[in-house]
Amino acid sequence: MGLFGNDDSSQVAALTMRVTQLEQRVEQLAQLVGAPAAPQDPRMDEVIRLKRAGEPIAAIKLLREIQPGLGLADAKAIVDQM
């Protein structure tokens, strides 16, 4: 439940996915102008691999290690949308 009684996990997941898309776009633009790319946690590739391998629980656990403040419901929603 959210702060005001609403379940905001789907909204958080949607925003997180949008931020990921924007980060990818910024990286593409940075490459076009020759700017250095922002560092990305290499473990995110493992999260994606785990999800694709049919191991969503392991993917959720790893995602929560990468982003310590991320709640279980939010992490599940993000992995489900991958």
> pLDDT tens digits, residue range 24-53?
888 788 888 887 766 678 888 899 999 999
Is residue 34 one of the residues assigned to a domain?
yes
Asked if 27 and 37 count as a contact pair (C-beta separation under 8 A), the reply is yes
Q: Which residue range(s) make up the domain with 57?
A: 9-81
Average pLDDT on 47-70 reads: 92
Q: Is residue 37 part of a domain?
A: yes
d(CA 3, CA 18): 22
In a domain, 17, yes or no: yes
Instruction: Outline where 1-82 has alpha helix (H).
Output: 9-33, 43-52, 56-66, 72-81
**Residue burial 31-67, b: 16+ Cβ < 10 Å; e: rest:** eeeeeeeeeeeeeeeebeebbeeeebebbbbbbbeee
In a domain, 45, yes or no: yes
| Domains: count for the chain | 1
Find the range with the poorest average confidence among 17-21, 24-28, 35-39, 60-64.
35-39
Name the pLDDT band for 1 (thresholds 50, 70, 90): very low
User: Is residue 64 one of the residues assigned to a domain?
Assistant: yes
Q: Considering the domain boundaries, does residue 75 fall inside one?
A: yes
